[in-house]
């Protein structure tokens, strides 16, 4: 998939902007606060229908204006489409695909985003890593979304039972079977996707200059036997663990095992990257993971997402920067990358644009 035209009006600090992107690499240059992240945010908003910065829609409207409009013309499966999002303060967003009104969750386009905040994928709490896997799985499987919704409901019912003044043991035991059955679906899907992600991430990590070996491991919150793991094994082991933890869970009034307690561990040369990796190594791991996400989506859906990269090259040495730029130039997907430094991009196979106070300078 690629965007052939972008039109933005009264969005953040952008009054009016029209851009015909390159099918491959697009580089947005500008000093601080000129609108580079805003530009990426506009693309993300039209593809995902929400911003990646947690703000209300009205904050996205240019100061002193009444609403914004973003339109992209894009090519998907050799068909040209036009997607428009219009917003007026106080009203709901209006989304149209080829001039026909659609709902916010219809016809979403896939975009993989890197922001400096994503470094917390590695350094932050486990919930970040679980959400990363969940949002990837939701993009490629409808079953996963259903199982996850069911699991969240079951978990909250289970926790409510544990929190009640008098414990309904029969109810808890009955719930545990369906709880373990649903949990096992989630764990199996995550184990499976992580195997794919690891394969592509290890590859990408080396391509972008990682000399060390990267390894990813899905850390289940209860012990599983070594060797090949089946759905049945996960379900039974989880159930056994829940039973053996019964009195502790009753004391703590909380569900102590299950996919909501799982994590992903990253290892560099078999050492935990969260503790031992350098800044540059951490950044490279996250970039490799994003490239792996892109490849996983492509292999499972047949479509490459857009790749939106905000300040991805900061902190990296010049050799690593060049290697990443090389990968992006040669790729089959479309990239929008922001940077404050134009000197990094000489003889680029792609387009370079400059943003100055929300205005585009070609
Ligand atoms: N709703 C809005 N209306 C007008 N201007 C806004 C709005 N929201 C943010 N801005 C302005 O947009 C500018 C920031 O834009 P943006 O975050 O895209 O900068 P940037 O080019 O990515 O800079 P940096 O290199 O520092 O990340 C700020 O000057 C901010 O005041
Ligand atoms: Mg920015």
Tally of CA atoms within 13 A in the half-sphere of 118 that contains its CB:
19
Say which ligand is closest to the CA of 10.
Answer: 1
Hey, whose CA ends up nearest to atom 12 of ligand 1? 13
For residue 31, give the ligand nearest its CA.
Answer: 1
- Find out whether the beta carbon of 33 lies less than 6 Å from any atom of ligand 1: yes
| Reported pTM | 0.94
**And the tokens for 124?**
């932050």
Instruction: Check pocket membership of 67 for ligand 1, CB cut-off 6 A.
Output: no
Nearest atom, ligand 1, residue 40 CA: 18
Q: What is the pLDDT of residues 298-341, one digit of tens each?
A: 999 999 999 999 999 998 999 999 999 999 999 999 999 999 99
Residue whose Cα lies nearest atom 27 of ligand 1: it is 32
pLDDT tens string for the chain (362 positions)? 999 999 999 999 999 999 999 999 999 999 999 999 999 999 999 999 999 998 899 999 999 999 999 999 999 999 999 999 999 999 999 999 999 999 998 999 999 999 999 999 999 999 999 999 999 999 999 899 999 999 999 999 999 999 999 999 999 999 999 999 999 999 999 999 999 999 999 999 999 988 899 999 999 999 999 988 999 999 999 999 999 999 999 999 999 999 999 999 999 999 999 999 999 999 999 999 999 999 999 999 999 999 999 999 998 999 999 999 999 999 999 999 999 998 889 889 999 999 999 999 97
Q: C-alpha 336: how far from its chain's center?
A: 16
Q: What is the pLDDT of residue 92?
A: 95
CA–centroid distance, residue 39 to ligand 2 (Å): 9
Q: Does ligand 1 come within 6 angstroms of the Cβ of 339? A: no
> Which residue has the least CA distance to atom 5 on ligand 1?
13
Say what the pLDDT of residue 346 is: 85
- The tokens describing 18, both together, are 């029209």
Pull the structure tokens for residue 305: 């997402």
Domain boundaries, the chain: 2-110+304-361, 120-276
Taken as a whole, the chain contains a residue count of 362
Hey, what CATH topology would domain 2-110+304-361 get?
Answer: Rossmann fold (3.40.50)
| Ligand 1 lined by 34 (C-beta under 6 Å) | yes
CA of 291 relative to ligand 2 center, distance in Å: 21
Cβ pair 348, 325 in contact under 8 A: yes
Phi, psi of 75 (to 5 degrees): -115, 125
> What are the counts of helices (DSSP H) followed by strands (DSSP E) for the chain?
11, 15
The residue to mutate among 12, 62, 311, having the most atoms of ligand 1 within 8 angstroms of its beta carbon, is 12
Closest approach atom of ligand 1 to CA 338? 22
The response to whether residue 63 sits with its C-beta less than 6 Å from ligand 1 reads yes
Ligand located closest to 355 CA: 1
Nearest atom (ligand 1) to Cα of 30: 21
3-state SS, one letter per residue, for 278-326: CHHHHHHHHHHHHHHHHHHHHHHHCCCCEEEECCCCCCCCHHHHHHHHH
Q: Give the three-state DSSP class for 3.
A: strand
Of ligand 1's listed atoms, the one at least distance from the Cα of 62 is 3
Q: Around 117, how many Cα atoms within 13 Å sit in the side-chain half-sphere? A: 8
Burial class, 17, CB count within 10 angstroms (exposed 0-12 / middle 13-18 / buried 19+): buried
For the CA of 34, the closest atom of ligand 1 is 21
| pLDDT recorded at residue 343 | 87
Q: Is the CB of 259 under 6 A from ligand 1?
A: no
CATH 1.20.1050.90 fits 120-276, yes or no: yes
- Give the pLDDT of residue 315: 87
């Amino acid at each position: 998939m690629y965007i052939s035209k972008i039109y933005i009006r009264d969005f953040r600090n952008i009054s009016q902007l029209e851009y015909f992107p390159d099918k491959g690499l697009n580089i947005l240059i500008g000093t601080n606060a000129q609108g580079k992240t805003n530009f990426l945010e506009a693309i993300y908003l039209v593809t995902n229908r929400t911003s990646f910065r947690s703000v209300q829609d009205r904050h996205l409207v240019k100061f002193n204006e009444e609403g914004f409009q973003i339109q992209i013309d894009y090519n998907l499966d050799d068909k040209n489409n036009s997607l428009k999002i219009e917003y007026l303060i106080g009203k709901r967003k209006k989304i149209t695909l080829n001039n026909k009104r659609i709902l916010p969750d219809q016809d979403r386009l896939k975009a993989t985003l890197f922001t400096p905040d994503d470094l917390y994928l590695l350094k932050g709490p486990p919930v970040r890593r679980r959400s990363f896997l969940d949002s990837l799985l939701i993009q490629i499987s409808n079953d996963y979304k259903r199982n996850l919704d069911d699991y969240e409901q079951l978990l909250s019912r289970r926790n409510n039972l544990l929190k009640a003044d008098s414990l309904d043991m029969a109810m808890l035991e009955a719930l545990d079977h369906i709880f373990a059955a649903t949990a096992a679906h989630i764990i199996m899907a995550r184990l499976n996707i992580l195997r794919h992600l690891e394969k592509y991430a290890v590859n990408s990590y080396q391509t972008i200059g990682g000399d060390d070996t990267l390894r990813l491991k899905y850390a289940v919150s209860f012990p599983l036997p070594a060797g090949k793991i089946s759905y049945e094994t996960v379900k039974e082991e989880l159930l056994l663990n829940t039973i053996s933890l019964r009195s502790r869970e009753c004391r703590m009034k909380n569900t102590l095992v299950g996919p909501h307690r799982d994590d992903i561990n990253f290892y560099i040369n078999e050492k935990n990257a969260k503790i031992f990796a350098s800044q540059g190594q951490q950044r490279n791991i996250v970039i490799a993971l994003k490239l792996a996400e892109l490849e996983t989506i492509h292999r499972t859906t047949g479509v490459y997402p857009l790749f939106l990269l905000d300040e991805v090259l900061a902190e990296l040495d010049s050799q690593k920067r060049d290697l990443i730029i090389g990968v992006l130039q040669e790729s089959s997907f479309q990239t929008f990358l922001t940077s404050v430094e134009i000197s990094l991009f000489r003889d680029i196979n792609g387009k370079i644009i400059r943003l100055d106070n929300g205005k585009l300078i070609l």
